[in-house]
A and B are shown apart, each in its own frame.
Chain A
Amino acid sequence: AQSVTQPDIHITVSEGASLELRCNYSYGATPYLFWYVQSPGQGLQLLLKYFSGDTLVQGIKGFEAEFKRSQSSFNLRKPSVHWSDAAEYFCAVGDGGGNKLTFGTGTQLKVEL
């Protein structure tokens, strides 16, 4: 069965500092991988996705993520965090059939001014 682990429940960074959110997945074949952001009281917004090809993918809002098959990881990064990036971030893995999307438990990001 597919699964996702986000080991960091909470992360606090200073505005302007770099950010890396960790995500490890378990899936038997080449996975479909996603990062989402959720602001308080809102739904989910897709930041970026990886299907195949270049292992470094660019997303919206200046985010990027790198797929590392050997480490079963798909970490999210941003070079310089803005106060508006404070939100909860979810990593997810999708099966090859395009039918089942499994989420991690999320990482709450706090940005200190």
Chain B
Amino acid sequence: NAGVTQTPKFQVLKTGQSMTLQCAQDMNHNSMYWYRQDPGMGLRLIYYSASEGTTDKGEVPNGYNVSRLNKREFSLRLESAAPSQTSVYFCASIGYSYNEQFFGPGTRLTVL
């Protein structure tokens, strides 16, 4: 089935630990995105990738890095997790001119 997969679904980290959130899509879309969702703040763009091999900062990139491994995969890495990074993270894959949009189920991350 077409869609966006994210792993893991839940994760608890201690302050200073690192981890990578994985995202993959099978719609052959060029554009992929990472958002974080916090209560009362909507979805805020962390990084996006308009095409394979390119990445750009969004609204809240500090503390994160990304890799567009290939057209299918777009990973988000936290090098040294902080409690302020406790959030729900969504990956999205969007087709040309927004004609198709798929959001992953989210990763709920808690940093203690």
CA distance in complex: A104, B59 (Å): 13
- Point out residues on A near B: beta carbons under 8 Å: 6, 9, 32, 34, 42-46, 49, 51, 90, 94, 97-106
Q: Is the CB of A90 within 8 A of B43?
A: yes
Q: Is the CB of B98 within 8 A of A34?
A: yes
Q: Is the CB of B106 within 8 A of A101?
A: no
B97 interface residue per 8 A CB criterion: yes
Q: Is the CB of B43 within 8 A of A103?
A: yes
Closest chain A residue to B92, Cβ basis: A101
Known A100-B48, A104-B42; contact A44-B90, beta-carbon cutoff 8 A: yes
Q: Which residues of B have CB within 8 Å of A34?
A: 98, 101
Q: Which residues of B have CB within 8 Å of A46?
A: 101
Task: Please tell me the number of chain B residues within 8 Å of chain A, measured between CB atoms.
Answer: 25
Query: When the two chains form the complex, which single residue of A44, A100, A102, A105 contacts B103, counting CB atoms closer than 8 Å?
Result: A44
CA distance in complex: A46, B101 (Å): 8
Query: B48-64 toward A: CB 8 Å interface, digit per residue (1/0)?
Result: 10100000101100000
Query: B13-39 toward A: CB 8 Å interface, digit per residue (1/0)?
Result: 000000000000000000101010000
Known A42-B105, A99-B48, A100-B48; contact A105-B42, beta-carbon cutoff 8 A: yes
CA distance in complex: A97, B101 (Å): 15
B76 interface residue per 8 A CB criterion: no
CB distance from B75 to the nearest CB of A (A): 18
Query: When the two chains form the complex, which single residue of B31, B40, B50, B59 contacts A105, counting CB atoms closer than 8 Å?
Result: B40
Query: When the two chains form the complex, which single residue of A9, A44, A98, A101 contacts B40, counting CB atoms closer than 8 Å?
Result: A9
A44, A46, A94 pick with most chain B CB within 10 angstroms: A44
Closest chain B residue to A106, Cβ basis: B42
Closest chain A residue to B31, Cβ basis: A99
CA distance in complex: A65, B44 (Å): 23
Query: When the two chains form the complex, which single residue of B56, B96, B98, B105 contacts A101, counting CB atoms closer than 8 Å?
Result: B98
